[in-house]
A and B are shown apart, each in its own frame.
Chain A
């Protein structure tokens, strides 16, 4: 069963937190809602769960209009950042909670609790209380609890942000495995972490300032972002203000050869180049500037180079003799690696 937002608006006392969202999550699809805090992504998720009421628009689960249904009649699995496991119940009773509330026959409850706990690798902890578990274990129980009711839709609200980095990448792999095992469950995954979104999602909806900024597959958004906000939020990006010419663009005094598509000559636009696609040394599309900072990151060096008052980042393979602070260097990038953004201006 899919999820469909049809012009959903949410406002608190005249303050719009979600502005006419139109978005469809297909059956079995993982859709990441990616954005900074206050972008409206969590509000969108809560509108699906039924905890906020849209001021306008409708929310559909499959063909069913659920806008006016109370949360307990929506049949949705939900996992939140702080887990919200019931502290007075053992792990198995937490997982059984939704089934008991639905008056599922006892034998079936036992079977499904075991199944859900095995699926999340928590079967050995069934008799424990939540307070006796680590953060990662509690998160697994929360997922098992949501899966036990066999929901068609799973809502995950920043499920990994309370975990440390190592555990987070493990859980990310776990979540992809779970999704492979449950191919019909649609997942709406709210996160501010681009790595989680890029790793897990079939499609990413980028949100900012209560609005949907872009929606597409991770590859589409990364390779050809629709606007500057998307470019900077999905992966790192150099965003250069340029003027469109006839067969390229002008960045300050430098002519750069890039595909201009339908951009009108003379218009101002933003050129997006990923740092790892910028090379050091001579090549096509040269940029010359002084090194303002250099960071060693193990396998790579990250160079920050001031070019005509703009900071350009370049991630290059580890250098034997890296340039020093204040050195003049030349950077280059291939014409096909740059994307010209004509809509949207970088925020900051």
Chain B
């Protein structure tokens, strides 16, 4: 938005800072400050140290970070594949059926994720599909939870896709599968990477369903943070949280680089 008057611009900046600082910046800054602290009894923390970080980047914590990254990557890939496939199929369905499908995909987000976790626990705790006690049950739960977002953003992009491209390709003799791989998916790539980033970030922060499902050898980082704060190690937990945020941000930045390369207009 273009604002020409100097007074208005100042007012907008002030409003932005008034809303942004307490809502977004302050909590994150507190976590950041706490991660370096050993005591925090006055306004500012005291006895600054980097010991929490040394602990947060080795051993159990490092393994939890890897676990989180692998889980998030796997879950977002599964979600992206399933969500894109579903969105592409939904686009050719009659409107009424499509609306039902839209609603079904939102359902896992609408119910508390604890319920999703419980449902998956019940479903996969006995044969034929016995996943309980393996990493796959965590990945499956994350995939179910984030597919809704992949489906939503990809189907929004498909609606905006000009059918002229598909028709031009078909008139040139391209079979539908060729059109999908060479025209539609490349044109959807910016939305696909955006969806992948969103899914990844959501999976990195997922806690409630994970709590019900994780096996001892597959502990994602949020569980570790929760455990640390739960036993009162707030500063160690803060350091873990900063590591989690940094890792997520780095991945999102990498994904957005692909996105700028893939946007054509």
Interface positions of A (Cβ within 8 A of B): 49-51, 70-78, 80, 82, 84-88, 97-98, 100-102, 129, 131, 145-146, 149, 155
| B170, A71: Cβ atoms closer than 8 Å | yes
Of A50, A71, A86, A100, chain B has the most CB atoms within 10 Å of the CB of: A71
Report the separation of the CA atoms of residues A77 and B172 in the bound assembly, to the nearest whole angstrom.
Answer: 6
- For this complex, 13 residue pairs linking A to B, each with C-beta atoms less than 8 Å apart, are A50-B171, A51-B170, A71-B171, A73-B173, A78-B171, A84-B165, A86-B187, A87-B264, A97-B169, A97-B172, A98-B173, A101-B174, A146-B172
Contact call A88/B171, Cβ cutoff below 8 A: no
A-B contact count (CB 8 A): 78
Q: Confirm or deny: B168 has a beta carbon within 8 angstroms of a beta carbon on chain A.
A: yes
CB contact under 8 A between A49 and B173, given known A87-B265, A131-B264: no
Indicate whether A98 sits within 8 Å of B187 (C-beta atoms), given known contacts A51-B167, A84-B164. Answer: no
Could you say which residues of chain B place their CB within 8 Å of the CB of A51? 167, 170
Instruction: Kindly list chain B residues whose C-beta atoms are within 8 Å of the C-beta of A129.
Output: 264
A81's closest neighbor in chain B, by CB? Answer: B164
Residue of B nearest to A129 (CB): B264
Residues of B within 8 A of A98 (CB): 172-174
The residues of A that contact B173 with a CB separation of less than 8 Å are 72-73, 75, 98, 101-102, 149
Stretch binding the partner chain, chosen from B178-186, B212-220, B239-247: B178-186
- For the complex formed, measure the closest distance between the CB of A256 and the CB atoms of chain B, giving whole angstroms: 51
- A71 with B264: CB separation less than 8 A: no
Q: Mark B100-124, 1 if CB is under 8 A from A, else 0.
A: 0000000000000000000000000
**B96 close to A (CB within 8 Å):** no
Known: A101-B175, A131-B265. A70 touches B170 (CB 8 A): yes
Is the CB–CB distance between A88 and B172 below 8 Å? Answer: no
Is B230 at the interface (CB under 8 A from chain A)?
A: no
- B47 adjacent to chain A (CB < 8 Å): no
Q: Which residues of B contact A72 (CB under 8 A)?
A: 170-176, 179
Which partner residue on chain A sits nearest B183 by CB separation? A86
Q: How far is the CB of A86 from chain B (nearest CB, A)?
A: 6
In the complex, the 8 A-B pairs of residues with the closest C-beta atoms, listed nearest first = A98-B172, A101-B174, A87-B264, A84-B164, A71-B170, A78-B171, A84-B168, A88-B186
